Amino acid sequence: MSQDVTSPPQDRKEPAYDEGNLGIAGRTARFFIRSPLSPLFYVAMLMMGLLGLVMTPRQEDPQISVPMIDIMVQYPGASAQQVANMAMQPLERMMSEIPGVKHVYSASQRGQGIVTVEFVVGEEMGPSLLKVNDKVASNMDKIPPGVMPPLVKTKGIDDVPIVTLTLWSRDLDSNGIPDVDDGQLRLLAQDVLQAVKQVQDTGNAFIVGGRREVVTVDVLPERLSGYQISLDQVAQTLVSANAEQVAGGLEARGARFSVTTGAFLTGVEDINRLVVGTFNNLPIYIHDVARVSQGPEDASELVAFYTGPASEIEDAGDGRPAVTIAVAKKELTNGVTVANAIIERVEELKGSRIPANVEVSITRNYGQSADQKVSELIGKLIKATMFVVILVLLAFRAVRPAIVVMLVIPVVLFMTVFVAWVTNYTIDRVSLFALIFSIGILVDDAIVVVENIYRRWLEEGRTDEDTAIDAVREVGNPTILATFTVIAALLPMGFVSGMMGPYMAPIPVLGSVAMFISLFAAFVFTPYLAISKWLRPSMKYLEAAEKREHKEAEGLEKLYRRILTPLIENRGKRTVFKLALWGTFLVTLSFFYFNLVAVKMLPLDNKPEFSVVLDMPEGTALPVTANLAHRMAEKLRSMPEVTAIQLYAGTARPFDFNGMVRHYYLRSDPWQGELQVQLTDKHDRDRSSHEIAVEARELLGKLVEGTGATLAVVEMPPGPPVLQSVVAEVYGPSPELRRQFARELTGIFAQAESTRDVDNYLRGAFDYWRFNVDTEKAVRRGISVDTINRNLAMALGGSPIGDIKPQAGRQMGHEPVQIVLQVPLAERSQVDRLGDLPIQSNQGYTVPLRELGEFQLTPEEDIIYHKDLRPVEYVVADVGGRLAAPVYAMFQVERILNQQDYTAPDGTKPQGAEEMEDAIFWLDAPPDSSRLAWTWAGEWTVTYETFRDMGAAFGVALILIYILVVWEFGNFRIPLVIMAPIPLTLLGIIPAHALMFSLGLGGEFTATSMIGWIALAGIIVRNSILLVDFAIHEIQKGVPVAEAMIRSCKIRTRPIVITALALVAGSSVIITDPIFQGMAISLLSGVLVSTVLTLIVIPLGCVAAGDDMCRVALATAPPGTSLPCATDAAPVKAPRKSSGGGVSRFSGKVVEFFILALYAIRGIFILLFDAAKTALKPKPARTARSPVKRPVETSAPAETGPPAESPEEDAPSAKGDSAASEPARTVAKKKRAATASDAKPTTRKTSAKTSAAAEKSSQGVQKKAPRRGIRLKIDDESDT
């Protein structure tokens, strides 16, 4: 029985859409188009985004949490082996038990050792430090006797100074000596540091260089011997006289008084007046046996400042003594703001605390570099936005749609920045690159919506609100699917492990957020703006656009017929095309094998500085090291791009992130030096910092020849730092074999073409003086070994015995002025003179030191290194040349070993890692140390982990995309056709990289290139879906598959090309950036080539899968539709077996299980979608409403015979925005509504027998489901 359709009231306008089938997109658009809150919502999102832009911290690189904790142990008198066995190994075992620890390193040398605990990337510093402290504290009872309590020190990314200030004397006196020496500069630096620390959000701060203020008591050994006084007596006199304490209190005359006794020493005069003993009943004062003075300590380190040719300072610095102040920022604070505040504070101090004859040079300003990088990228972001707007303007040939897109972009970008602020991301170059490359993708949603609204307005002949809502509904589901395919391609990259994971995390996270927000904006703001009275187009423009597009479509149709028709009809030509395509693909892949494209982690960035690390032969004195470093600095001053140079000898420069990982802050031996070189701004020089560093290596390499020194030119890494570019970790059965093997490997490394700055961690041979106490003589004289040790240490100035307390108002600094008891430098520099040092016996007389033992030269012990509780040695090298990547240097080393038929010290022959017994291991350490072997580490480890995880992420992305497309089309072969162009993107990506590489413009295939390739997968699938979706609609109208694909290419070329050009516009602005050049090349070349191939490969693939195309079309067509190709697509009773596209019986069970799992997932999503749809839409009326301008049809009774079976009963089809298929869909809706009305019983009292019969008769009947999901019509009277 048919159900009457109630006509709407005449005064009420019927909408041009189906109320019950609007979907999420249509309902969202309808709500916001009609809501007066839409403009307020737009403004609110803009304000939130601006708030995020202002509040989000800015820095150059992403915040990476890499906890590295050092545990320093002193074991006086112990040998290196004893330190390793008794102190280091127990600590290593304890630290390896802590959860979250990645590696445990240790270095043991005579008398001391250090254990470094490296946690997994992402672990927080606070909890990690707590774990280490708890483990150490709970095992203090296991510390061997003689071992000092461990000192736990942390170093994290927030400890890296963001600003360094170098103070140096501007003026010279008549003798050419600076007016202000380094001791006075240090006192000044203490005052400046105290003032700078008042700046809010400053963190760790310290001073490098300058001699500390001390009171030196130079004891004369000959006078001590003459007066029969020992150093112990002098020390005891100083300690006992330098004491003051509160003795108590008393009450007198009604008042309470405290009583203080004693007095601190206040200066040189107080010390000179102290009586140290008597001789011939006469008092002996300290000034009788020593010379007391106050001033800078003896030099143990050196810091100097040099100006370069590009310096703006008029007074040239040519190695003047200097002091550097280093200041870091607190965690999660804005580095730009803190750096600017520090510099402003220093400017305020000039002329008051900082005198005019002292120059303050800013030798590091990460705030400025971060601000410049962020400002530069924001400028590129604006350029990319304008390029896209211009592209839309040219595509639509109208200003209004371009304005709509232009207004949507800021909301998306600003809200993404707001999300970054909320989720503790920073504004850095990686997060901004994520936004830049997303621009070309995120505008596509808005473009698709605007284009479809305009098209529907043209069809309806009016620019009304209801048509716009239905237009959004029409493209809603395909747009959602396409957006989620891009998100599915990006998100898996967020699970990359290692240091590159959090470093590159802003790209998948913020890119996905931007895509989601762009989808929201496309459904919310784009329709609202498009129908606003200021931006709504006129019908005259739409009609003109229709004529223009019709003419363009006719030309495209002719082109596609000339290209596709021969390939479709001629099997031979089609075979030749396939062979040419796959042949080209294989040739392209061979570019990697023939080194036409270099593969590396990240290319070097164009930085404003680099450093030169100098290692003199062990045992070299500080003046020798400083002299060679000075000559190196003078050599570098000849380079025109140099603005300043700082020399550090015997001390470490303020460390950066790279120095923190490599532990450069521990370089404090007198034979170690470093030069920090500042360059002009990259915009003011023609050469990159890498090119300048290469020249510096050549200049300095000639200078150090013959000196025995080794140097390394260290550039700031573009990404996370590592120990060195190429690292070989050598394992073996004994220390002697390991060290010999490491020395021989060092020579082999030097022969490789791509290696630079080859070195190892072996300590060179050098001697130290050891005083061997004759215990028998000492005991006979009544002198203990401890007394000898203590007196000799005081004589050499190694034991400060207190400090002075200047009177109020005379305090000159913020450091204690220590009292140093020693013999004069002329005496302690000669071992023979030290033999005259008198040692007091317990009987009161003194004995010369030489009578209690002898000095002996002793070879210094080697440092013992451990990694993860195993002994190890390190051979390191940097890379350079054409193939400047670790993997090429590693292959070259292995090739040299094979060519020389090298035999290791243990008699084995190292080979490539083809079998477990081979000596070279690429991934993990050897399973045991029974033979000599090594494993590759350093940048290779990060490279392997990154590309491995990105490859896995790419695989996951492809699976997710495949599942989404299967869910949409209900077929397992069509998604493979849709995804076919993904590998073909390499036909553009690899040759483009090779071209750039051959021209010397970079072009290495890097991690960012891989990211661009992965992102392209989602974009290419988006374009393919447009083609296939339109073709299915054409097939439903009775068009053959081949003709449908030609028509699809004709109609869909424009949106596909617009998408490609939008991505090109967004990516073109980052192609000049060294780090993200690879991503730009991948996106630019990949999308251009794949777009062309998509328009050819997809039609050919769909024609080859014509049966599946017909099945999908038949399954989604209105009931009763007969297709010309239906006879070819024979229906089957089990669609899950036929939809796989001809799966073999051998794998049928596996495919069946996979199909069932996919349908289970699909069913869950359908239930969730239905629940959301029910919650959003109002309760439907019992009467059906006919669309506007459609005649109301009277429903006919339902047919009693079963309709023809379809092979795709459960398969949903693709959603489309085709204008031609809209009438078919409308008719189908009315037929389904009429059939449902007629099939509905008029009473609820249906007998059980009738229901059972009906249920039985309905089995095997193929029911047609609407394209938004499976909705089988069930008897409403019996479902209770």
Q: For residues 836 and 831, what is the distance between their CA atoms, to the nearest angstrom?
A: 10
Both structure tokens of 1094: 């998509």
In sequence order, what are the residues at sequence separation of 6 or more whose Cβ sits closer than 8 angstroms to the Cβ of residue 892? Answer: 752, 753, 754, 755
Count other C-beta atoms under 10 Å from residue 573's C-beta.
12
Final residue of a domain: which of 820, 836, 859? 859
Nearest partner of 433 among 818, 220, 840, 719, judged by Cα: 719
Q: For residues 488 and 495, what is the distance between their CA atoms, to the nearest angstrom?
A: 13
**What burial class does residue 873 get, using C-beta atoms within 10 Å of its C-beta: 0-12 exposed, 13-18 middle, 19+ buried?**
buried
Q: Tell me, yes or no, whether 811 lies in a domain.
A: yes
Which residues span the domain enclosing 109?
A: 68-155
- Per-residue confidence (pLDDT) for residue 18, from 0 to 100: 61
3-state SS track over 769-832? EEEEECHHHHHHCCCCHHHHHHHHHHHCCCCEEEEECCCCCCCCCCCCEEEEEECCHHHHCCHH
Q: For residues 182 and 649, what is the distance between their CA atoms, to the nearest angstrom?
A: 14
Q: Tell me, yes or no, whether 94 lies in a domain.
A: yes
Residue 269 is inside which H or E element, if any? Answer: helix 268-272
Q: Are 862 and 765 in contact (CB under 8 A)?
A: no
- Per-residue confidence (pLDDT) for residue 312, from 0 to 100: 83
Both structure tokens of 179: 């007016």
Count other C-beta atoms under 10 Å from residue 907's C-beta.
8
Q: For residues 707 and 703, what is the distance between their CA atoms, to the nearest angstrom?
A: 9
Q: What is the CATH number of the domain that holds 75?
A: 3.30.70.1430
From residue 647, how far is each of 168, 301, 692, 1163 by CA, in Å?
12, 10, 18, 69
Positive or negative torsion for Cα 513, 514, 515, 521: positive
Q: Are 325 and 189 in contact (CB under 8 A)?
A: yes
Q: For residues 1048 and 1027, what is the distance between their CA atoms, to the nearest angstrom?
A: 6
Nearest partner of 693 among 606, 601, 616, judged by Cα: 606
- Per-residue confidence (pLDDT) for residue 811, from 0 to 100: 54
**Terminal-residue alpha carbon distance, the chain:** 21
Q: Are 1004 and 1189 in contact (CB under 8 A)?
A: no
Q: Tell me, yes or no, whether 142 lies in a domain.
A: yes
Q: Say if residue 147 is in the same domain as residue 220.
A: no
- Per-residue confidence (pLDDT) for residue 1216, from 0 to 100: 38
Domain count, the chain: 2
Residue 561 is inside which H or E element, if any? Answer: helix 539-569
Biggest CA pair distance of the chain: 139
Residues of the chain with pLDDT under 70: 1-20, 314-315, 808-813, 911-919, 1120-1121, 1124-1280
Final residue of a domain: which of 816, 839, 859? 859
Determine how β-strand 933-938 pairs with β-strand 726-731.
antiparallel
Buried (b) or exposed (e) across 977-1004, using 16+ Cβ within 10 A?
bbbbbbebbbbbbbbbbbebbeeeebbb
Q: Tell me, yes or no, whether 118 lies in a domain.
A: yes
Q: Say if residue 223 is in the same domain as residue 140.
A: no
Q: Are 373 and 429 in contact (CB under 8 A)?
A: yes
Both structure tokens of 587: 């040739």
Q: Say if residue 777 is in the same domain as residue 852.
A: yes
Q: Say if residue 219 is in the same domain as residue 144.
A: no
Positive or negative torsion for Cα 636, 640, 641, 643: positive
Q: For residues 751 and 205, what is the distance between their CA atoms, to the nearest angstrom?
A: 43
Q: For residues 360 and 346, what is the distance between their CA atoms, to the nearest angstrom?
A: 8
Q: What is the dihedral of CA 1202, 1208, 1214, 1219, to 10 degrees?
A: -40
Nearest partner of 337 among 598, 59, 671, 526, judged by Cα: 59
> What is the model's pTM?
0.78
Q: Tell me, yes or no, whether 781 lies in a domain.
A: yes
Nearest partner of 704 among 610, 636, 621, 608, judged by Cα: 636
Q: Tell me, yes or no, whether 1013 lies in a domain.
A: no
- Per-residue confidence (pLDDT) for residue 812, from 0 to 100: 59
Final residue of a domain: which of 824, 859, 894? 859
Q: What is the CATH number of the domain that holds 788?
A: 3.30.2090.10
Q: For residues 488 and 370, what is the distance between their CA atoms, to the nearest angstrom?
A: 31
Q: Tell me, yes or no, whether 1165 lies in a domain.
A: no
Helix, strand, coil % in the chain, rounded to nearest 5: 50, 15, 35
Q: Say if residue 771 is in the same domain as residue 841.
A: yes
- Per-residue confidence (pLDDT) for residue 915, from 0 to 100: 44
Count of H-run helices and E-run strands, the chain: 40, 32
Q: Are 988 and 996 in contact (CB under 8 A)?
A: no
Question: At 117, is the secondary structure helix, strand, or coil?
Answer: strand
Q: Are 194 and 207 in contact (CB under 8 A)?
A: no
Q: Say if residue 72 is in the same domain as residue 145.
A: yes
- Per-residue confidence (pLDDT) for residue 872, from 0 to 100: 95
Q: What angle do CA 179, 184, 186 make, to 5 degrees?
A: 130
Q: Are 994 and 1103 in contact (CB under 8 A)?
A: no
From residue 21, how far is each of 443, 1097, 1229 by CA, in Å?
26, 34, 9
